């Protein structure tokens, strides 16, 4: 199918676009940014539509003729202080944009068969341990979050007269380094987070992979129509959530956080952390949707499998190259090609490689300069699977741990590659305290340079 996706660069959007492309769909994304600006940091084999002001201008004409499905994810982040101006932006980015898009679909989307929109479980009232499902009453109060959700869903109601309309009410999305966990991780690393109050508040969560599959299934499975809860089948108490998260982070389960502290720190936005809802995804379960992650322990074990020590840090980067898999993988098999994709500030030089091409057990000796200090660095290839992945691990060098997984996958006549680095600084907590910020910045610079250089070397 040809699928239009708004909010494609957000927490859910990128993973969803990749999943759709792997399933051989064609994807057209909508972004506020110009195509030239977007491609500096975000590139997939998709068509790009620029819609600069979705909250105040109609959807650009002529972009729906060949579209068969729409997935509408866009909306300003709610993870910010809820000032009056921020609340207006949050509301308009959901309601006005949805109204404009719905109007365009009715006027120009003659081939569109399904619209999958987004909402949030904030539309339900706090219910404690009483379970709520898609048939439960929504919160009719004037509180900000339920009001936004109600108006957000109402903005696309007219579409149900013309096509199959699905609304997914999303819970707490679990994805490393982003969204809810993106805010929680640094707090735990600083030792200032723990269960809220007595820890009995109910939390309705979902693993990012299951949520992506739910959105895609809603497009592909014609049985999906109406309201669906984007939550895992087993909500947990706040204390259970924090206990399992602490284990995944290899940190102690810290003393409770008083609710009043959150209200003082975040103001009205503290409602996100203080919600108490046990939301069940009964509608999708009735259709036989299979969740891969039903228990919070299982979800955290998957998300943080890379973390074996509380000081472990992770850097993750993805990239699509307009080059076939064989050629792309071949480029990485030469250790000496690493010099071409490493920034000058490292003064990087390959001194010796035990094999001409990368293979299992290859040892590579480099010379580098970190913050002006020259040193040698030796890595060993722990695993190499042709056209799939290879793993290099530091044996001698500046880090206490450096474990780098390179993954490669064919995608739409090109190659989708990811770098996942787990690193740990020497000198224990002191190393992280005094050098953590600098090292994080350097690692980011290294891989951003690699991103840009690979595009030039391999893409063209």
Residues 346 and 356: beta-carbon distance below 8 Å: no
User: How many Å apart are CA 443 and CA 332, to the nearest integer?
Assistant: 19
> Given the structure tokens 């190259």, which residue do they identify?
321
Question: Which structural domains are found in the chain, ordered by start?
Answer: 2-303 (3.40.50.720), 313-458 (3.30.530.20)
Query: Quick one: three-class SS letters along the chain?
Result: CEEEEECCCCCCHHHHHHHHHHCCCEEEEEECCCHHHHCCCCCCCCEEEECCCCCCCCCCCCCCCCCCEEEECCCCCCCCCCCHHHHHHHHHHHHHHHHHHHHHHHHHCCCCCEEEEEEEHHHCCCCCCCEECCCCCCCCCCCHHHHHHHHHHHCCHHHHHCCEEEEEEECEEEECCEHHHHHHHHHHHCCCCCCECCCCCEECEEEHHHHHHHHHHHHHCCCCCEEEEECCCCCEEHHHHHHHHHHHHCCCCCCCECHHHHHHHHHHHHHHHHCCCEECCHHHHHCCCCCCCCCHHHHHHHHCCCCCCCCCEEEEEEEEECCCHHHHHHHHCCHHHHHHHCCHHHCCEEEEECCCCCCCCCEEEEEEEECCEEEEEEEEEEEEECCCEEEEEEEECCCCEEEEEEEEEEECCEEEEEEEEEEECCCHHHHHHHHHHHHHHHHHHHHHHHHHHHHHHHCC
Question: Rounded to 10 degrees, what is the CA torsion of 102, 103, 105, 106?
Answer: 120
In a 10 Å sphere around its CB, with 0-12 CB exposed, 13-18 middle and 19+ buried, how is residue 226 labelled?
A: exposed
User: Which pLDDT does position 97 carry in this prediction?
Assistant: 96
Buried/exposed 243-276: b ≥16 CB within 10 Å, e otherwise: bbbbebbeeebeebbeeeebeeebeebbbbbbbb
Q: Which residues of the chain have pLDDT under 70?
A: 192, 198, 261-262, 264-266, 268, 433-435, 459-460
Chain segment 35-58, per-residue pLDDT in tens: 999 998 999 999 999 999 999 999
User: Which pLDDT does position 271 carry in this prediction?
Assistant: 72
Distance of CA 37 to the CA centre of its chain: 20
User: Which pLDDT does position 459 carry in this prediction?
Assistant: 57
User: Which pLDDT does position 82 carry in this prediction?
Assistant: 87
User: Which pLDDT does position 284 carry in this prediction?
Assistant: 98
Chain segment 177-230, per-residue pLDDT in tens: 998 888 888 888 877 677 777 688 999 999 999 999 999 999 999 999 999 999
């Amino acid at each position: 199918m040809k699928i239009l996706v708004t909010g494609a660069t957000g927490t859910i959007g990128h993973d969803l676009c990749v999943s759709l492309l792997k399933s051989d769909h064609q994807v057209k994304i909508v972004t506020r940014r110009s195509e030239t600006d977007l491609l500096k940091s975000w590139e997939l084999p998709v068509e790009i539509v620029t819609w600069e002001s979705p909250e105040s201008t109609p959807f650009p004409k002529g972009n729906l003729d060949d579209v068969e499905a729409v997935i509408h994810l866009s909306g300003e982040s709610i993870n910010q202080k809820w000032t009056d101006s921020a609340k207006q932006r949050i509301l308009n980015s959901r309601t006005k944009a949805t109204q404009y898009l719905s109007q365009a679909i009715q006027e120009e989307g003659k081939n569109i068969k399904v619209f999958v929109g987004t909402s949030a479980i904030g539309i339900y009232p706090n219910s404690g341990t009483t379970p709520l499902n898609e048939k439960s009453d929504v919160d009719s109060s004037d509180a900000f979050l339920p009001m936004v959700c109600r108006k957000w869903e109402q903005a696309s109601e007219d579409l149900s007269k013309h096509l199959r309309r699905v609304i997914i009410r999303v819970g707490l999305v679990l994805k490393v380094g982003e969204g809810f966990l993106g805010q929680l991780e640094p707090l735990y690393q600083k030792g200032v987070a723990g269960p809220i109050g007595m820890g009995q508040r109910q939390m309705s969560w979902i693993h990012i992979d299951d949520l992506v599959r739910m959105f895609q299934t809603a497009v592909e499975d014609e049985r999906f129509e109406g309201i669906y809860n984007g939550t895992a089948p087993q909500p947990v108490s706040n204390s259970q959530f924090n206990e399992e998260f602490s284990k995944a982070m290899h940190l102690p389960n810290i003393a409770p956080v008083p609710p009043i502290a959150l209200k003082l720190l975040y103001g009205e936005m503290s409602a996100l952390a203080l919600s108490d809802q046990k939301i069940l995804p009964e509608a999708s379960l009735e259709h036989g949707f299979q969740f891969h992650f039903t228990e919070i322990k299982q979800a955290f074990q998957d998300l943080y499998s890379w973390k074996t020590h509380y000081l472990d840090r992770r850097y993750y980067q993805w990239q699509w190259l307009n080059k076939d898999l064989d050629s792309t993988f071949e480029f990485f098999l030469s250790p000496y090609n690493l010099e071409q994709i490493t920034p000058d500030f490292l003064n990087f030089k390959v001194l010796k490689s035990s094999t001409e091409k990368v293979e299992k057990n290859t040892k590579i000796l480099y010379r580098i300069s970190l913050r002006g200090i020259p040193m040698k660095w030796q890595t060993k290839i722990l695993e190499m699977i042709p056209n799939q992945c290879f793993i290099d691990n530091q044996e001698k060098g500046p880090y206490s741990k450096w474990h780098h997984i390179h993954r490669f996958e064919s995608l739409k006549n090109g190659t989708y590659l990811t770098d996942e680095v787990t690193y740990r600084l020497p000198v224990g907590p002191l190393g992280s305290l005094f050098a953590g910020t600098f090292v994080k910045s350097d690692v980011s610079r290294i891989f951003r340079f690699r991103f840009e250089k690979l595009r030039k070397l391999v893409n063209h």
